[in-house]
Each structure stands twice: as structure tokens, then as C-alpha cells.
Amino acid sequence: MRLGVTLPQFREDPEPAIAVARRAEAVGLDGVFVFDHLWPLHQPEMPALHSLTLLGALTAETSRVTLGTFVARVSLLPDAVLVHALHSLFRMVDGQRFIAGLGTGDRYNRDENVAYGVGFPPAEARARQLVDCCRRLRELGVPTWVGGDSDRARRIAGEEADGWNGWGLSAEQFADAAAELVPATEVTWGGQILIGRTDAHVAEKLERHGPRPRLVHGTVDDLRRHFSALKDAGASWAVCSPLDVGVAEEAVDLIAEARV
């Protein structure tokens, strides 16, 4: 099972994100992924690095790791513009190390769209856009994942994409959802983590960063057990979003140490 990490995007300075991507490559992780948000969830006053621009920089700053959107939201851009941008990134890395992760977004993303004047179509319309973008990208040879925990997202992933990503699911929940798709469709996991070297280190990090719903936390051994359960469920990727990425120097290293 391959391992990836999301980058620290919710800031104005891109250098920490680039440094994390370089570190991920140096310690042997398989991929780096970027969120597609205009601001952190429920925090419109906070900045966010633009996902496609950051990926463009990473095509030059990395040489081995897979790059991916996690996930690019339809409706923020016209379908043709989004597909062109993702295909361009795919070509910039010679088509060898790019994944176009796509999703419809949900009610929590509505305010971002509205604030930027692009509208937020109904769920059915966004689902049609998702299908359209997947079809266009696959015709161009770009590997695609669909992210989302709904039955509709899994159906579209199985019918129109190369893979599905389940965000924030426990290993048991992931196994149940993935069973509907494997072996015909690649299944991948993503979620927030907070890992320390000892139980005391974990407790100190939880105190500093605070608990989150569906957070995977514990020691390296705990994360390794989580990875093992995901692998047993058929996961080909685990994409981790450490709460302390870009803050704690060891955040990326601990993911690599938990490889199964």
C-alpha cells in the first residue's frame, strides 16, 4: 500500500508546503496531495494556497512522488477549464505521476463558492459535472479518483473513474464501503492523523491541537495497525493529513515509519 501526505496549505507562505513535499520525497513517501479550498473549513478569514498553482510549483520541486488533487471540486471552475488545468499538470510530469482527484463538494463548501460568485448548483447538477469531468479526463489518459462517502460518489467512482477515496472513515467503515467496489475499482483512504512517538507525546499533541471528529491518533505502532487494516480491506493508498504537518518536523517521518 502506498502512502501519501497532504500539505500545509492554509497560510500565505508556500515554502512550508514545498518543504513538506521535498521531505516526503526524501523519506520515501509515495505521494503528496493538495486540498481544493478557498479557506479552511468555517474560517473565511484565513488564507489558503491555491491548489492548482501549488501543484504547478511541485512539478518542478519534486522528481519522484505522485502529485494529486485531494480533491478538485467541480463547480468552482467550468468543467472545460478544470479538465484543461488537470490535464496540463498531468503533462507537466510526463503523465507518470499525477492523479486527478475529483469531488462534488458538500454543504460545508457552499459558502466558499457563493463568496467568490461562482454559485453552488444542486447536488444532482454537481454529480453530472463530476461525471463529465471524469469522462473527459479519462479520454485524455489522466488517472482519476472520486472522493466522497455517499452512495452516489461510490457509484460514480465505480462507473466513471479509476479509483475511489473514502475520507475520515474508520478501518471498519472503509472495509464495508470498499467491499462494494473491489476488485474492479481502486480504493483509497484519506483522513486526519496526529501521531507521536510515545503515549505521552500523543497526549501532548492532542492537548495542543485539540481532538477532531474521526481523527486517527496514537503512536507509530497504532498508525501501522491502522494501515494494516486498510491494506487488508484492499486499500492501495493511504493519504494522511497530519494536524501538525508543517509545524512538527517529524510529522512526515512518522508516516514513513508506519509503513506496512
- Express each pLDDT in 165-222 by its tens digit: 999 999 999 999 999 999 999 999 999 999 999 999 999 999 999 999 999 999 999 9
Does position 41 have pLDDT exceeding 90, yes or no?
no
Kindly tell me the number of DSSP H helices and DSSP E strands found in the chain. Answer: 10, 10
pLDDT one-digit tens code per residue, 219-235: 999 999 999 999 999 99
Between the alpha carbon of residue 27 and those of residues 1, 20, 235, the distances in Å are 16, 11, 21
Q: Which CATH architecture has domain 2-257?
A: Alpha-Beta Barrel (3.20)
Evaluate the CA torsion angle 35, 142, 160, 235 in order and state its sign. negative
pLDDT of 60-85, one tens digit each? 999 999 999 999 999 999 999 999 99
DSSP letter, residue 2: E
Check: pTM over 0.95? Answer yes or no: yes
pLDDT at 159: 97
197 grid coordinates: 512517538
pLDDT at 121: 96
pLDDT value at 54 more than 90: yes
Query: What is the C-alpha to C-alpha distance for residues 74 and 113, in angstroms, rounded to an integer?
Result: 11
Q: How long a stretch of residues is the chain?
A: 260
C-alpha cell at 121: 448548483
- Per-residue pLDDT tens digits for 96-154: 999 999 999 999 999 999 999 999 999 999 999 999 999 999 999 999 999 999 999 99
